[in-house]
Amino acid sequence: MNGHLSTSFYSFEDLRSRAQNGDLFVCHIVRESIPIYDPVGQLNILRSEFSFRQSYGDEIQRATDLGWFLVEHGMSIGSGALVNKRIAWCVRTILISRSAETGIPVFSALSLAEFAKSNAVLTLVKNKDETIIDAEILRDLEVLLASFGGDRIFRPRGSYSDYRRRFDSTMNKVGLGTLRADAVASLGYHE
């Protein structure tokens, strides 16, 4: 058997609070998970208490900000693998959020492509394991951001420092993590 297994542990109270606040991670759990062992029915409780937000604008804007950073600075980032993983995260976050705003969230790459009516979405998401930065992928990301993203904050282009300040002020953890990972990659450290 091939593949990758990730395991995470969350308290039920944390998941319950996140369900009541319309958290998209919990949305994915309540919509698509199958319990292996749930003797007290906690998954059903989460399902019954999940409530969509009217807007996922904050999530969309954070992913949009990182997306524009990648469009503008992606070719100079030290790790193609990092860029491609972050592109996939941006695309998925924006489109899952947009679909959740309709009340019918979708999660798979194929469903996201169908939602966006764009074959480029499949390429953008499935490219996450590639190590080379492709200029055409960045152009496809730019088109997606213009169609589905939030506001473009910097016009015509933001500096690396502009984006660092923006990520910091909006508590964009993925954006800040990208800058940290790029700094490490640029120093030549390898794990």
Q: What is the pLDDT of residues 79-106, one digit of tens each?
A: 999 999 999 999 999 999 999 999 999 9
- Domain limits of the chain? 12-49, 57-187
- Structure confidence at residue 190 (pLDDT): 44
Highest mean pLDDT: which range of 16-20, 31-35, 186-190: 16-20
User: Where residue 5 falls among pLDDT bands split at 50, 70, 90?
Assistant: confident
Which pTM does this prediction carry? 0.91
Q: Compute φ and ψ for 172, nearest 5 degrees.
A: -85, 90
Q: Does the pLDDT of residue 38 top 50, yes or no?
A: yes
Q: How many residues does the chain have?
A: 191
- Alpha-carbon separation of residue 33 from 2, 43, 102, 170 (angstroms): 21, 9, 21, 31
Q: How far apart are CA 70 and CA 149, in angstroms?
A: 14
